């Protein structure tokens, strides 16, 4: 669930080719007999149209208008990729530890190490301002579908339709901002543009840190226990929203529940799931299976091996390095788990059956057939065309995520030198830009290893006669090729770099530096490939919108739209499941955390702070720590409140299990589980382990005093 937005941008760099054909029978399953199931498209309901009758039939519970308003306005969008919620009238915010992990360094003072030692502000004055962090509270929802779709219909081409759409969206935001200047407006595409909603958000940008536990307590088990269950993580954090220097006052917040949960109890996750592709056609799903995910899995495996080795070499003492390892390990498990799901003939047969039924419903209706009948064929052809250049685009791309800084520096330096040559930059501006180009945190050992990843990508994705392969690898091993490139480059040290840049732009553009050559040899081809690909993407954006319109016309609100990092209400029950020849309990306890600690000989990543060997007498290790439920979540839901039918906090969503990883494409109910931090466990730790009485009292009463 975590950091998925960082990785998603990589997903779209890699454009795929046509599908491979699965065998008609595989693992004893005949795909022709498999049927789509009721909730394959998920249970991420919008607040525009919550399924009240379904809730009443399924749970005997029909939320009132007031309760739905509380759900909506107590929930928050947190930072760039998480969810959160208000849990007191004084602006106390609850989210996950992993949602604040990357910003803790910016609130540390002197030689503090919050990742290692945790943090608690015992008074309001000690709460630490978190720079550049904002949370968003959704206050207004308005349907603007007709205005946008009518304007798009005036366009004569795909590009013009998209331009008219974007212009109309800007106009709607301006008009509503004039009416409500205190809010920020966004237009949200639902059903790929089959519907559009205008959302008005209250923005809070004075956010202060109140409490976080230590990294090893929040994420006990590290990557081995990531996306697994049973889990033993206190993955929580608490912050506070301020306005005009004072804590805010809000009428909308979730009260804390002190009773816990029991099996089969209905619970609701209120948060902002990031992105799913459940509406995708089989052609789109198959190219993801055959090209995109294999590329991503291979790259992430190489990245993970690099950082795992570095953590081991530092004896797991560098907590920033550990956090990076956790982030990459999370991405690897997401993509590897999803890829395995895409290879599962049973799941793919369910997707095929859904598409067959959906397509038949469109083709049987003359009006729908005329408007939407050719969507599937067009998308299939588009993906085939895109696939012709997929490997070259991937190999030629220089990524800020996995490429070595040698190449990112070379790319930027060539751009600046070209702009200076063409009088698009002044000499002063050129000097300023290049003087800040060499990274302050340059780690040559790491960059040398990342270069191997880049060369492996070239070798695996380009034919041996490709100019890049001939120039940079030829018949050498990637290790030999990397050593040779490094020996010839001036990007390997700051002094060499500065000396080269001082020789002027002509020297740069005519340099025999291999990384300069890499950029110059690929940039023109890559620009042309990207131009052609953009035309396809523009057309597919229109086709995807038409697909969403058709879906809504056929199924209406019975199927929720794909996740869009906007507020959703997901229903489910607390439920264990069968796994690995045994049964997963609905809850785990702090005793389980202690067992992991001792069973793995207190070694990373199963370390705990030493005080766990002598716990306070009032602390009860039998208290539930984590629990599982059947709610439908995905990346972006991290930090979401888990509430009971009274709207009280019973947990905090922080992960899914391995069985949940297919959820980008299909929601399953058999063993897909949301993993939550128990409200009881958080309170027990905050009150009796950390002695953070000010915080525990505020959670209990809903007030800071």
Could you read off the pLDDT of 126-156 as tens digits, one per residue?
999 999 999 999 999 999 999 999 999 999 9
Q: How far is CA 457 from the centre of its chain?
A: 24
Is residue 451 within 8 Å of residue 464, measured between CB atoms? no
Helical segments of 180-249, H only: 215-218
| Same domain, yes or no: 494 and 603 | no
| Same domain, yes or no: 224 and 102 | yes
In this structure, is residue 428 part of a structural domain? Answer: yes
* Averaged pLDDT for residues 478-489: 96
Strand, helix or coil at 193? helix
pLDDT band at 657 (very low <50, low <70, confident <90, very high): very high
pLDDT band at 1 (very low <50, low <70, confident <90, very high): low
The mean of the pLDDT values for the chain is: 93
Read off the pTM: 0.89
Judge whether residue 526 has pLDDT over 90.
yes
CB atoms within 10 A of CB 64: 10
- Residue 574 DSSP one-character state: B
| Same domain, yes or no: 640 and 575 | yes
Is residue 22 within 8 Å of residue 345, measured between CB atoms? yes
- Residue 326 DSSP one-character state: H
C-alpha torsion sign, points 308, 313, 315, 318: negative
Is residue 284 within 8 Å of residue 379, measured between CB atoms? yes
Query: Which residues contact residue 550 at a Cβ distance below 8 angstroms, ignoring those fewer than 6 apart?
Result: 194, 358, 362, 368, 371, 372, 375
**Using alpha carbons only, how large is the chain's radius of gyration in Å?**
26
| Same domain, yes or no: 601 and 691 | yes
| Tokens describing residue 561 | 């739209």
| Category of 633 on φ-ψ map: left (φ > 0), alpha (ψ -120 to 50) or beta | beta
| Same domain, yes or no: 296 and 238 | no
* Chosen domain end from 510, 543, 558: 558
| Same domain, yes or no: 29 and 76 | no
| Same domain, yes or no: 266 and 320 | no
CB atoms within 10 A of CB 283: 21
354-361 long-range contacts, Cβ below 8 Å, gap at least 24? 354/36, 354/40, 354/41, 355/281, 355/282, 357/36, 358/550, 358/551, 358/554, 358/555, 361/554
| Same domain, yes or no: 272 and 287 | no
Query: How far is it, in rounded angstroms, from Cα 404 to Cα 661?
Result: 29
pLDDT band at 21 (very low <50, low <70, confident <90, very high): very low
Is residue 36 within 8 Å of residue 357, measured between CB atoms? yes
| Tokens describing residue 403 | 């490429």
Domain residues for the domain of 4 are 1-35+280-350
| Same domain, yes or no: 273 and 343 | no
Query: How far is it, in rounded angstroms, from Cα 82 to Cα 577?
Result: 27
Q: Which of 568, 690, 674 lies closest to 261 in space, CA to CA?
A: 674
Q: How far is CA 324 from the centre of its chain?
A: 15
% of the chain beyond a pLDDT of 70: 96
In this structure, is residue 358 part of a structural domain? Answer: no
* Run of H or E residues at 407: helix 405-421
Judge whether residue 114 has pLDDT over 80.
yes
CB atoms within 10 A of CB 591: 13
* pLDDT computed for residue 31 by the predictor: 79
Query: How far is it, in rounded angstroms, from Cα 478 to Cα 90?
Result: 58
* Run of H or E residues at 394: helix 390-396
In this structure, is residue 193 part of a structural domain? Answer: no
Q: Which of 518, 561, 316, 287 lies closest to 414 in space, CA to CA?
A: 518
Burial of 579 (0-12, 13-18, 19+ CB in 10 A): middle
Backbone angles phi, psi at 107, to 5 degrees: -110, -5
| Same domain, yes or no: 571 and 430 | no
| Tokens describing residue 664 | 């980008």
Counting every residue, how long is the chain? Answer: 705
Judge whether residue 333 has pLDDT over 60.
yes
* Chosen domain end from 558, 588, 603: 558
In this structure, is residue 554 part of a structural domain? Answer: yes
| Tokens describing residue 385 | 């065309």
C-alpha torsion sign, points 77, 78, 84, 86: negative
Q: What is the 3-state secondary structure (H, E, C) of 152-181?
A: HCCCCCHHHHHHHHHHHHHHHHHHHHHHCC
| Same domain, yes or no: 536 and 588 | no
In this structure, is residue 536 part of a structural domain? Answer: yes
Check which CATH number belongs to the domain holding 127 and give it.
2.40.10.120
% of the chain beyond a pLDDT of 90: 92
* pLDDT computed for residue 4 by the predictor: 47
Query: How far is it, in rounded angstroms, from Cα 92 to Cα 702?
Result: 9
Q: Quickly tell me which residue has 């492996």 as its tokens.
A: 456
* Averaged pLDDT for residues 441-457: 96
Query: Which residues contact residue 120 at a Cβ distance below 8 angstroms, ignoring those fewer than 6 apart?
Result: 210, 211, 690, 692, 695
| Same domain, yes or no: 415 and 527 | yes
* Averaged pLDDT for residues 686-696: 98
Q: Quickly tell me which residue has 């009443």 as its tokens.
A: 56
Is residue 43 within 8 Å of residue 560, measured between CB atoms? yes
Strand, helix or coil at 144? coil
Structural domain tally of the chain?
A: 3
In this structure, is residue 175 part of a structural domain? Answer: no
* pLDDT computed for residue 32 by the predictor: 82
* pLDDT computed for residue 19 by the predictor: 31
Is residue 635 within 8 Å of residue 275, measured between CB atoms? yes
C-alpha torsion sign, points 127, 130, 131, 132: negative
In this structure, is residue 373 part of a structural domain? Answer: no
Q: Which of 18, 636, 667, 532 lies closest to 292 in space, CA to CA?
A: 18
* Chosen domain end from 558, 587, 620: 558
Angle between helices 514-555 and 405-421 (to 10 degrees): 100
pLDDT band at 229 (very low <50, low <70, confident <90, very high): very high
In this structure, is residue 185 part of a structural domain? Answer: no
Query: Which residues contact residue 92 at a Cβ distance below 8 angstroms, ignoring those fewer than 6 apart?
Result: 86, 210, 238, 239, 240, 253, 698, 699, 704
Query: How far is it, in rounded angstroms, from Cα 236 to Cα 253?
Result: 17
Q: Which of 408, 401, 233 lies closest to 306 in space, CA to CA?
A: 401
* pLDDT computed for residue 20 by the predictor: 32
* pLDDT computed for residue 16 by the predictor: 32
* Averaged pLDDT for residues 185-190: 96
């Amino acid at each position: 669930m975590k950091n998925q937005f960082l990785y998603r941008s990589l997903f779209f760099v890699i454009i795929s080719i046509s599908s491979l054909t699965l065998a008609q029978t595989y693992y004893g399953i005949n795909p022709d007999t498999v049927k789509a199931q009721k909730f394959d498209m998920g249970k991420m309901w919008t607040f525009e149209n919550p399924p009240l009758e379904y809730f009443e039939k399924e749970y005997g519970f029909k939320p009132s208008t007031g309760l739905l308003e509380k759900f909506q306005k107590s929930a928050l969008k947190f930072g760039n990729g998480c969810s959160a919620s208000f849990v007191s009238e004084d602006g106390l915010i609850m989210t996950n530890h992993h949602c604040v992990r990357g910003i803790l360094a910016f609130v540390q003072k002197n030689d503090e190490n919050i990742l290692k030692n945790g943090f608690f502000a015992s008074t309001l004055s000690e709460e630490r301002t978190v720079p550049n962090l904002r949370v968003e509270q959704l206050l207004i929802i308005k349907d603007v579908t007709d205005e946008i779709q009518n304007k798009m219909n005036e366009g004569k081409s795909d590009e013009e339709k998209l331009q008219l759409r974007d212009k109309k969206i800007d106009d709607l935001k301006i008009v509503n901002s004039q009416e409500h200047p205190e809010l920020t407006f966004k237009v949200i595409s639902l059903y790929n543009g089959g519907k559009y909603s205008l959302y008005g958000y209250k923005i809070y940008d004075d956010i202060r840190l109140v409490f976080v536990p230590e990294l090893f307590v929040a994420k006990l088990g590290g990557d081995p226990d990531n996306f697994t269950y049973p889990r033993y993580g206190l993955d929580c954090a608490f912050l506070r929203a301020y306005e005009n220097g004072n804590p805010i006052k809000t009428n909308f917040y979730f009260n804390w529940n002190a009773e816990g949960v029991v099996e089969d109890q209905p619970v609701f996750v209120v948060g902002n799931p990031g992105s799913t592709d459940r509406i995708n056609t089989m052609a789109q799903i198959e190219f993801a299976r055959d090209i995109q995910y294999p590329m991503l899995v291979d790259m992430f495996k190489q990245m993970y091996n690099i950082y795992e080795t570095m953590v081991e070499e530092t004896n797991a003492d560098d907590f920033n390095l550990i956090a990076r390892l956790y982030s990459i390990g999370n991405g690897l498990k997401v993509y590897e788990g999803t890829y395995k799901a895409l290879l599962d003939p049973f799941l793919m047969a369910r997707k095929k059956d859904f598409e067959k039924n959906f397509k038949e419903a469109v083709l049987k209706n003359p009006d729908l057939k005329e408007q939407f009948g050719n969507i599937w064929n067009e998308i299939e052809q588009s993906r085939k065309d895109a696939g012709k250049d997929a490997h070259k685009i991937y190999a030629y791309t220089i990524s800020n995520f996995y490429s070595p800084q040698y190449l990112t520096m070379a790319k930027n330096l060539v751009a600046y030198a070209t702009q200076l040559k063409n009088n698009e930059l002044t000499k002063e501006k050129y000097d300023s830009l290049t003087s800040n180009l060499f990274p302050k945190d340059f780690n040559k050992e790491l960059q040398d290893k990342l270069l191997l990843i880049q060369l492996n990508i070239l070798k695996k994705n380009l034919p041996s006669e490709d100019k890049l392969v001939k120039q940079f690898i030829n018949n050498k091993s990637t290790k030999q090729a990397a050593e040779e490139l490094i020996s010839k480059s001036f990007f390997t040290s700051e002094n060499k770099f500065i000396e080269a840049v001082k020789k002027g732009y002509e020297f740069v553009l005519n340099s025999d530096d291999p990384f300069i050559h890499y950029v110059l040899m690929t940039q023109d081809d890559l620009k042309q490939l990207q131009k052609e690909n953009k035309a396809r993407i523009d057309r597919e954006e229109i086709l995807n919108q038409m697909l969403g319109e058709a879906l809504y016309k056929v199924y209406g609100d019975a199927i929720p739209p794909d996740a869009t990092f906007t507020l959703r209400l997901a229903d489910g029950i607390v439920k264990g499941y069968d796994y690995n020849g045994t049964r997963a309990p609905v809850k785990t306890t702090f005793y389980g955390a202690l067992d992991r600690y001792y069973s793995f000989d207190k070694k990373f990543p199963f370390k705990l702070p030493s005080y766990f060997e002598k716990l306070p007498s009032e602390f009860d290790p039998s208290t539930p720590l984590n629990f599982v439920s059947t709610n439908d979540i995905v990346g972006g839901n991290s930090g979401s409140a888990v509430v009971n039918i009274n709207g009280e906090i019973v947990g905090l969503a922080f992960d899914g299990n391995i069985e949940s990883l297919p959820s980008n494409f299909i929601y399953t109910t058999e063993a897909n589980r949301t993993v939550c931090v128990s409200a009881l466990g958080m309170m027990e730790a905050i009150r009796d382990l950390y002695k953070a009485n000010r915080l525990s009292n505020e959670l209990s009463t809903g007030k800071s005093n």
